Structure 1
Amino acid sequence: MDWYSSVFELIDMRSFSNLWFWIGLAVVWSSASHWVLGVPYDMIGRARRHGGQAEDDFVDLLRINSRRLLYIADEAGLWVIGVGMFLLTTCVTLGFFYGVEIAQALFFLGFPMAIISLLSVRTARALFETEHTIDQIYKRLARHRLVVQAIGMVSIFITAMWGMYVNLSIGVLGG
């Protein structure tokens, strides 16, 4: 047995049994719940507690990121949705019809993030269409973050269940 085979036998390169996939999944969801419309959540809390310059910085950053998100959605939204749906459909076809495990893993990462992206555009648009007090902005962003966290928990649970199913079925069938 050569060195290359020994390394790949020691480190399983399949998606759901690979530690790096699970670390990546945790990082993706941690980042998604920390960055609310491009604003770090600790900055929102600091602005809410202290007001003044922290609140001004928060409002500026929220305005910049929301306008950027809305600009991308308005200018290239159909293309982004089209390419995204093509990639997700490719992952579904390869993953669930042809059994390509990496495509399944990418689908379990990409599909919920697509939902989060749509929710982010909706929240940004709602913030710009009507006037809001600063307290209403805080509440809307907290609600958005809560929804992102709920989607993340459900997504991680479903991914873990599917990953266990795949790993057990491969183990039973002999891979």
Structure 2
Amino acid sequence: MQWYQTIFELIDMRSFSNLWYWVGLSVFWSTVGHWVLGVPHDLIRRAEKNEDFARHDVETLVAVYVRRLLFIVRTAGIWMVAVLSFVLSGLMLLATRYNVEFAQAVLCLLLPGCIVFLLTLRTARIIEAGENAGTPLLQRLRRHRQSVQVVGMISIFFTGVFGMYQNMLIGVYG
């Protein structure tokens, strides 16, 4: 018996029954929920407590992140949409038509990630339009974080239910 056959027998390499997929999913959503437009959540909380240096840091970090994000979208947005459409179409085809579990697992990460990116882009445009300082900025960041957390909760719930369904299906028919 080869060494890699032994490893694959000991470790289940299917996506939804693999512990590393769930660890990666939790790390992804905790990271996305913690960093709001390039600013860590604890810094936003300190700025809400009227710590002047923290408020200045939040405003500076948000300004840099918003300018950078909008520059990238304005210069390469069409290419990003084209490549992402190609990737999502391929994953959808593999996940639905051919029932490739890896494609289903990646889709469970990528689709909500795209929704979060669109929410971030919307928030960046609102901030660029005028909510770029003080209390309105902090409120906008808080609302954006809450919306990202809602998307994350729905995504984790759906991924968990779908993953359990896949594991039971493999257990019955596998």
Shorter-chain TM range is over 0.9
Output the amino acid matched with 2:36.
Answer: V
Cα distance in structure 2, aligned partners of 1:131 and 1:120? 14
Output the amino acid matched with 1:41.
Answer: H
- Using structure 1 for the length normalisation, give the TM-score: 0.95
Deviation of 1:140 (Å): 0.8
Output the amino acid matched with 2:46.
Answer: R
Deviation of 1:19 (Å): 0.4
What are the ranges of 5 or more consecutive residues in structure 2 without an aligned counterpart? none
Deviation of 1:167 (Å): 0.7
How many residue pairs end up in the alignment? 174
- 1:96 corresponds in structure 2 to 96
- 1:108 corresponds in structure 2 to 108
CA pair 132-57 structure 1, distance change in 2 beyond 3 A: closer
Counterparts of 1:117-128 in structure 2, within 5 Å, are 117-128=117-128
Deviation track 1:112-148 (CA, whole Å, cap 9, x = no partner) reads: 0001101101101001112555111111111100000
Deviation of 1:109 (Å): 0.2
- 1:168 corresponds in structure 2 to 168
Counterparts of 1:53-68 in structure 2, within 5 Å, are 53-68=53-68
Once superposed, which parts of structure 1, at least 4 consecutive aligned residues long, lie more than 4 Å away? none
Counterparts of 1:150-161 in structure 2, within 5 Å, are 150-161=150-161
- 1:24 corresponds in structure 2 to 24
- Using structure 2 for the length normalisation, give the TM-score: 0.95
Q: Give the stretch that moved more between structures: 101-110 or 51-60.
A: 51-60
- 1:76 corresponds in structure 2 to 76
Deviation of 1:4 (Å): 2.6
- 1:143 corresponds in structure 2 to 143
Cα distance in structure 2, aligned partners of 1:36 and 1:157? 22
What are the ranges of 5 or more consecutive residues in structure 1 without an aligned counterpart? none
Determine if contact 2:59/2:133 at 8 Å carries over to the other structure.
no
Deviation of 1:48 (Å): 1.7
Deviation track 1:53-93 (CA, whole Å, cap 9, x = no partner) reads: 22111111110001101111111111112211211111110
Cα distance in structure 2, aligned partners of 1:86 and 1:112? 17
Cα distance in structure 2, aligned partners of 1:26 and 1:117? 18
Cα distance in structure 1, aligned partners of 2:132 and 2:38? 19
Determine if contact 2:91/2:104 at 8 Å carries over to the other structure.
yes
Cα distance in structure 2, aligned partners of 1:66 and 1:134? 16
Output the amino acid matched with 1:90.
Answer: G
Deviation of 1:6 (Å): 2.2
